[in-house]
Structure 1
Amino acid sequence: MATANSSPVYRIPHPLPLDSGQVLDGAEIAYETYGMLAPDASNAVLVCHALTGDQYLASPHPITGKPGWWERMVGPGKPIDTDRHFVICANVIGSCLGSTGPASLDADGEPYAMRFPVITIRDMVRGLVALLDGLGIDQLHAVVGGSMGGMQALSLAANWPTRAARVLVIASTARHSAQNIAFHEVGRQAIMADPAWAEGNYYDSDAKPDNGLAVARMAAHITYLSEAGLPENFGRRLQDRPDGSKGAKSFGFDADFQVESYLRYQGSGFTRRFDANSYLYITRAMD
C-alpha cells in the first residue's frame, strides 16, 4: 500500500466538481516537473500516467527505488527533451502517491475509504487542468499519454480543446470494451473478496488486502500481453527451482511454469506501492 510521497503538492483553491454531481473540497495534486518553463509558458508538455503509474516518470520511485517509469523517453536529449521542454507529470485524483484519493483524510479526520466519490477520466483531467492553471500554463505544447494516460489526453482534447496544441495518444482508447470491463471486474471482486479489505476500512489495521490486490494485478497483466506474446515470452517452459536446479513439475501448487512465476512476481511487488481502494476507483473510472 502506497504511503510515501516526495513530490510538490498543489492544493486546488476551489471545490473540484465531479461528473457524479459531487465535489471534492481541498483536493490536492502531487506532481513532478522536469526542465525549465519558458517565460511565455509555451514549452510545457503534460505526460499523463497509466492505471498503476504515478508522477515519477523520470525520477526514482520513493517506495521501490526503481528508475522512473518513462526515463528512457524523458530527459536531456531524449524524445521528450527536457533541454527544450518543461515536462509535467501528476498523480491523478483517486490514486495514492500524494494526490487526493480513498486513503486521504476526509473532513472528519478519517480516511475517505469507500466514502470517496466515484470518479471518471474527465474528473481526473479536471484536476490536471486545475494544476495547469496553478502553474500559469494556458496552453500546453503537447499532452502525451499511453493506456489510461491516453484516455486522459483524449478527454483533455475533447473537453478542453484550447488547452493543448498537440495530442499524442499511445495504445489507448476512448472507451473500454466489454472484455476490458470484465477483466477489471474480476480484479475488483478479488480485492473485495479478501477478508482484509473489510469493506474498504483497512487503513488502521495491520492486515491489508494484499492477496486480493495481487490477484487483481495478475489478472490485469494477462491483458498486457497479446495472444501471440504469451507463448513467445513463456510458452510452456518450466521455472527453475529455488535451489537452481532445472525446472520440473512439483506435482503441487508451486509456480511450476514461467508464466505462473511472472504473474506471482508482478502481483506481490505491486502491493508494496499501491492502494487497493485506489485500484477499485481508478479501474471504475476507466470503465
Structure 2
Amino acid sequence: MENVDKYEDTEAASADNWADLVKHITGYPVPERGKIFDTLRSDHGGKLFRMDIKERSLSLLVKDSGFLQNKGQDYDIWFFDSGKKRSIMQARIVFEGRVKSGDEIIFAGTDSTDVNNVSVREGNEFTDYNKDKFSTIPLAQYMNGPRAALIALLNGNSGDGRFSGLVAKESDTVDLDSFNNAGHSFDYAAKFFKDHAPLLKDWEDRFGRDDASWKGEAAEVFRSLITKIRENYDSYVETFNSTAGTGDQTGTGNTVYSRALS
C-alpha cells in the first residue's frame, strides 16, 4: 500500500497525482499535464484560442455581432476605437480544439451508464485560417488514454490499452495473468517440498538404524545434513499452507501465496 499512499502526500498545485497513479498501475505513458496545450496555442491568441482585431464599417455591427455568426466562429465582439468616429473594431475569438461537422459543433456524449460505451475521441491535427497548425491529440491522450488503459487492465492486460498511438511499453505493462502464474509457481514449489520431505525422512531413518550400511563420522555428518534439509522442507510446507489473510474471502490456490495472488 505504501506505493499507492505516497501519492496522497504530494501537493496538488504542482503534482499530477492522477497521471502518476495511472502510470504506476497500468504503465500507460500519460502525457505531461503542462504540455498538453502546447499544440493548442496560437501565435494570434493563447492557449485554446486564437483571435484577431480588424477595423470594420458601422453597417456590419448589427448584422454580424454575436455567437456563431461567421460559419462556426465562436465570438465576434464589436467596440469603438476612441480615435475613429466613423469606424468600429471587430475582435474575433475562436476557441480551438472543438469537433465540428461542417459548421456544427459536435459535443461528446458522456451520458452512457456503461463505461465501455462512452463516446471518446482520439483527437486530430488541423490548420486554421491563419495557417497556424494545431493538434488535439495530446489533450485526448491525457483525457481519454487512462480510461483505455484502466479498461484494458480490468480485462486482464494494460498493454492492450492503446489510445491514439500511445500504449504502455512492454516492460511497463501489467498482466493480471502473471499473478496467477506466480501463484502457480508457489504451488509447484510447495508440492516439491511436500513430495520430497518423506524421501528425506526415509534417508534420515535409514542412516540412523543400527544396521545402516554406512556408519562412522562421515555418515553422521551426512545424516545431520539430511535432517536439516528435511526440517527446512517441513517448515516451508507449513509456511506455504498457512491461512490466507483475515478477510471474509480468500483466493484460490494451494498455498497462502497463491491464494493471495489469485
TM-score, normalised relative to structure 1: 0.22
TM-score, normalised relative to structure 2: 0.23
Which has more radius of gyration?
2
Q: Which has the higher helix share?
A: 2
Higher relative contact order (CA 8 A, sep 6+): 1
